[in-house]
Amino acid sequence: MATHLILQKIFKTGIVSEPMPEADPSLRTRMQELQADLLKVFGRALAIRHVDAGSCNGCELEIHAINGPQYNIEGMGIKFAASPRHVDVLLVTGPVSRNLETALKRTYDATPEPKWVVAMGDCGCNGGIFGESYASCGKISNVIPVDVEVPGCPPDPVTLLKGILAAVSGGR
Amino acid sequence: MKIAGHEWDLASLGNHVWRGRIAAAELLAFAQSVKDEGGQLVALWGSDDRQLFPLSPGGRGAGGEGAGFAIHAAFITAAGLAWVSAELLADTPAYPDLAVIFPQADRMQRATHDLLGIQAEGAVDGRKWLRHGAWPEGSFPLRKDFDAEVVRELDAYPFIRVEGDGPHEIPVGPIHAGTIEPGHFRFSIIGDRVLKLEQRLGYTHKGIEKRFEGMDLATGAKLAGRVSGDSHSAYAWAYCMAVETATGYEVPERALWLRALFLEIERVANHLGDLGYLGNDVALSFGFMQFWRLKEELLRLSGRLFGHRYLFDRIIPGGAAVDLTDGSELLALAGRLEAEVRELKAIYDEHPTLQDRMANTGIVAPALAARLGLTGLAGRASAQAWDARVQFPQTPYDRLDVGMSTHRRGDVLARAEVRFAEVVESLRLIRAIVQGIPAGAIAVPVRVPDKVTEGIGWVEGWRGEILVAVRIGADGKLDRVHPHDPSWQNWPLLEVGILGNIVPDFPLINKSFNLSYSGQDL
Ligand code: SF4
């Protein structure tokens, strides 16, 4: 029976989650406007909306990966939400394609204050290999304000998590 | 070359690839003979050849299209890949509509028009495809004289509407609710049942083909690998194969084995991820956690052994960028993954809700799959028995005797079953490669030619066949590169597979195909 097999497998697998990495403040690009006390209230219950603004889908692979059991992000209080209206952080990938420029701006506007934007990957940080062209606006900060830039192609899960934590941990 | 009893003037380029130039007026007859033989259209693209001097048409790889435009098409035939090109007039470039024979040509023809202003004459669907509002009508980015100045237009796209009492529309996207790529889906429904789904893609169009122009060969490999990041090794290999056909240099055998190793690791990683998500989408998060645990172990080992979790930039023109020094860890992990995947398969097999949700959901019947050109993994789940590694094996696949997995049911469950079988087969291949890889160099220096040359590469990626066509200019820089993703053929079948299903099953059906947006948006 399936339930029996599932339980067996769960016990055999055990807990594979690893400790959470520390925030990396060096990834921050602009001064936080948020008060320290707000951060305390905010704590570590963080909702993120991922926005693919034109990526090659490589960065998405690592976003999926941090949802896996080794990284246990829900255990850290981080979760991905379906609507920008429900989140604190926009995690944006890709160079911004011109065909998505409006959608990205609207998503940003739909996100309530206070909000943070994490630009993920070389493309998000500087346009990457695609650069700026008739079809690409280049880096994310060409289109919306960015708080943290996480380089890499794609950035590995630990670097990505450090970047996300840096965005919300302010000067702490 | 004989196709369905008809003799065509195509020359062999080796590696099961055939090359020929025909008149535009002959395209339909050529396509028909491929169809009669049971073949398929794989890719269709155009090029601006106005700056090229007419070269001798017989010469190997000569860009002999003359001083106008050209339309190119690649077909799968019984003898391999047939690549034909036809010259088109500079003023009124047009060719006959191929969608009447191969419906999958429709979107490729529309994209070719958006990018180059080449017209498919008589085509029923004349709507734009990749062009939204980022460049104006009548301006064509892949023309060499394109003025890159940004002009913005209001984007309007006429969806096909379902009229009458009762049906209503649900627009979804381009920004989706989960971590997936952007695209727009327009559902017309009655109650919970889908009457019609229409896709609008092209949102991630970032000008990849234009970007290739003028690039050096090494950087081109990096860009090719980023057409669709989840198929990095497949694209990088297909690109390098194309460059190698064009320039005629031989890659060391060890490098080819390494490339196959990377390709099979990529296949296993993607299939594991998808099997996890398929569990997740039927509310079995246990499946997600288990498969993603396994996938992560494979990614970490790839990172340790080869320096990149997804093996980016490990395949380079001339060979491979990194060697395998000690394969013991890979052998051990492949063995363990196989045992665990079999355990998990037993659970999926016996899980009543999972079986109930997946069986008879999102069906693409074999006859329809054949008519519309469903390909790759999804094709094999609908009895389309094509796998380039099996029918047209190149080194090292010609020595590995790859087993093909097919299914006749064409539903979500069949696509999951094919994935399970392919994971196990690829793990066997990984072990066979590690044990059988010949000694020797892993790369040779690339000689840049001083005349116009062209080539094509063709690799069975995890999703289906990845094709890259390359033309190198006399200056040794890339002049025209066309990367083709199997998602072009398969996206329209998703529109068909959802019909009559309920809206809540869409995410599951969509995931069972797991098509690339970036790969088709370019
Ligand atoms: S940074 Fe790399 S992985 Fe991420 S979208 Fe850009 S090319 Fe793809």
- For B324-355, the DSSP string reads ----HHHHHHHHHHHHHHHHHHHHHHH-HHHH
Is B172 within the bounds of a domain?
Answer: no
- Summarize pLDDT for B88-109 with one digit per residue, the tens: 988 889 999 999 999 999 999 9
Residue-range definition of the domain harbouring residue B299: 250-445
Supply the pLDDT for residue A42: 53
Q: Which amino acids bring their CB within 6 angstroms of ligand 1?
A: A 55-56, 58-59, 93-94, 121-123, 128-129, 153-154; B 226, 229
Residue with the two structure tokens 């390098």? B240
> Cβ B132–A99 below 8 Å, yes or no?
yes
Phi, psi values for residue B90, rounded to 5° = -70, -35
> Cβ B134–A134 below 8 Å, yes or no?
yes
> Cβ A103–B175 below 8 Å, yes or no?
yes
Identify whether the C-beta of residue B483 lies closer than 8 Å to the C-beta of residue B174.
Answer: no
| Mean pLDDT value across residues B442-465 | 92
Q: Token digits for B199?
A: 């896709």
pLDDT > 80? residue A38: no
Question: What's the rounded Cα separation, in Å, for the pair B415 and B490?
Answer: 13
A31 pLDDT tier (thresholds 50, 70, 90): very low
| Mean pLDDT value across residues B317-340 | 96
Question: What's the rounded Cα separation, in Å, for the pair B355 and B378?
Answer: 18
B444 pLDDT tier (thresholds 50, 70, 90): very high
- Summarize pLDDT for B348-376 with one digit per residue, the tens: 999 999 999 999 999 999 999 999 999 99
SS3 assignment, position A120: strand
Examine the domain organization and report whether B308 and B359 are in the same domain.
yes
Supply the pLDDT for residue B58: 43
Structural domains of chain B, count: 3
Supply the pLDDT for residue B319: 96
- For B38-68, the DSSP string reads T-EEEEEEEEE-TTSPP--TTSTT-----SS
Is B520 within the bounds of a domain?
Answer: no
Give me the CATH number covering residue B6. 3.30.460.80
Question: Residue type for B396, please?
Answer: P
| Mean pLDDT value across residues B29-53 | 91
Question: What's the rounded Cα separation, in Å, for the pair B418 and B421?
Answer: 5
pLDDT > 50? residue B47: yes
Q: Give the count of beta carbons closer than 10 Å to the beta carbon of residue A70.
A: 16
Supply the pLDDT for residue B241: 95
CA distance B146 to chain A (A): 10
Q: What percent of chain B has pLDDT over 90?
A: 81
Closest residue on chain A to B515 (Cα): A57
Options 3.30.70.660, 3.40.50.12280, 3.40.50.1220, 3.30.499.10; CATH for A29-170 is 3.40.50.12280
Q: Helix A2-13 to helix B328-350 angle, to the nearest 10 degrees?
A: 150
Examine the domain organization and report whether B274 and B386 are in the same domain.
yes
Residue with the two structure tokens 């994209």? B111
Question: What's the rounded Cα separation, in Å, for the pair B160 and B170?
Answer: 13
Residue with the two structure tokens 């028995």? B385
Which spans in chain A are helix H? Answer: 2-13, 36-42, 58-66, 101-110, 121-126, 157-168
- Summarize pLDDT for A115-146 with one digit per residue, the tens: 999 999 999 999 999 999 999 999 999 999 99
Residue with the two structure tokens 């090659």? A56
Q: Considering chain B, what is the average pLDDT of its residues? A: 92
Supply the pLDDT for residue A103: 93
Residue with the two structure tokens 């024979």? B101
Mutating which of A99, A105, A107 best tests the B interface, going by the most B Cβ atoms within 10 A?
Answer: A99
A36 pLDDT tier (thresholds 50, 70, 90): very low
Supply the pLDDT for residue B177: 83
Diameter over CA atoms, chain B: 70
Examine the domain organization and report whether B385 and B363 are in the same domain.
yes
Examine the domain organization and report whether B234 and B277 are in the same domain.
no
Distance from the alpha carbon of residue B399 to the mean position of ligand 1, in angstroms: 34
Ligand 1 atom nearest A93 alpha carbon = 5
Give me the CATH number covering residue B420. 1.10.645.10
Q: Token digits for B59?
A: 């010469």
A170 pLDDT tier (thresholds 50, 70, 90): low
Examine the domain organization and report whether B34 and B76 are in the same domain.
yes
Supply the pLDDT for residue A74: 83
- For B437-459, the DSSP string reads PPPS-SB-PPPPPSS-EEEEEEE
SS3 assignment, position A80: strand
Examine the domain organization and report whether B293 and B430 are in the same domain.
yes
> Cβ A54–B204 below 8 Å, yes or no?
yes
Reported ipTM: 0.92
Examine the domain organization and report whether B333 and B455 are in the same domain.
no
| Mean pLDDT value across residues B21-33 | 93
Pocket test for ligand 1, best of A57, A61, A64, A123 (most atoms within 8 A of CB): A123
CA distance B86 to chain A (A): 28
Identify whether the C-beta of residue B437 lies closer than 8 Å to the C-beta of residue B326.
Answer: no
Which among B234, B254, B221 has a CA at the least distance from the CA of B470? B221
Is B407 within the bounds of a domain?
Answer: yes
pLDDT > 70? residue A29: no
pLDDT > 50? residue A79: yes
> Cβ B292–A63 below 8 Å, yes or no?
no
> Cβ A103–B174 below 8 Å, yes or no?
yes
Write down the domain spans for chain A.
29-170
Q: Which of B445, B471, B498 is the last residue of a domain?
A: B445
Examine the domain organization and report whether B99 and B18 are in the same domain.
yes
Q: Which of B93, B121, B149 is the last residue of a domain?
A: B121
Question: What's the rounded Cα separation, in Å, for the pair B351 and B300?
Answer: 30
Strand-pairing partners, residue B320, are: B315
pLDDT > 90? residue B15: no
Closest residue on chain A to B307 (Cα): A156
Q: Give the count of beta carbons closer than 10 Å to the beta carbon of residue B362.
A: 28
pLDDT > 90? residue B277: yes
Closest residue on chain B to A58 (Cα): B229
Contacts of B72 (CB under 8 A, 6+ apart): B43, B44, B45, B46, B47, B83, B84, B85, B469, B482
Enumerate the residues of chain B whose CB falls inside 8 A of the CB of residue A129.
211, 219, 222-223, 226
DSSP H/E element including A119 = strand A116-120
DSSP secondary structure code for residue B219 in this structure: H
Supply the pLDDT for residue A151: 96
Question: What's the rounded Cα separation, in Å, for the pair B92 and B119?
Answer: 8
Bridging pattern class, strands B184-190 and A89-93: unpaired
Q: What is the edge-to-edge ordering of all strands in the sheet holding B168-172? A: B168-172, B184-190, B193-200
Which among B346, B364, B366, B348 has a CA at the least distance from the CA of B356? B348
Question: Residue type for B128, please?
Answer: K
Question: What's the rounded Cα separation, in Å, for the pair B381 and B383?
Answer: 6
Examine the domain organization and report whether B399 and B368 are in the same domain.
yes
CA distance A37 to chain B (A): 31
| Mean pLDDT value across residues A69-98 | 90
Question: What's the rounded Cα separation, in Å, for the pair A138 and B226?
Answer: 15
Examine the domain organization and report whether B268 and B367 are in the same domain.
yes
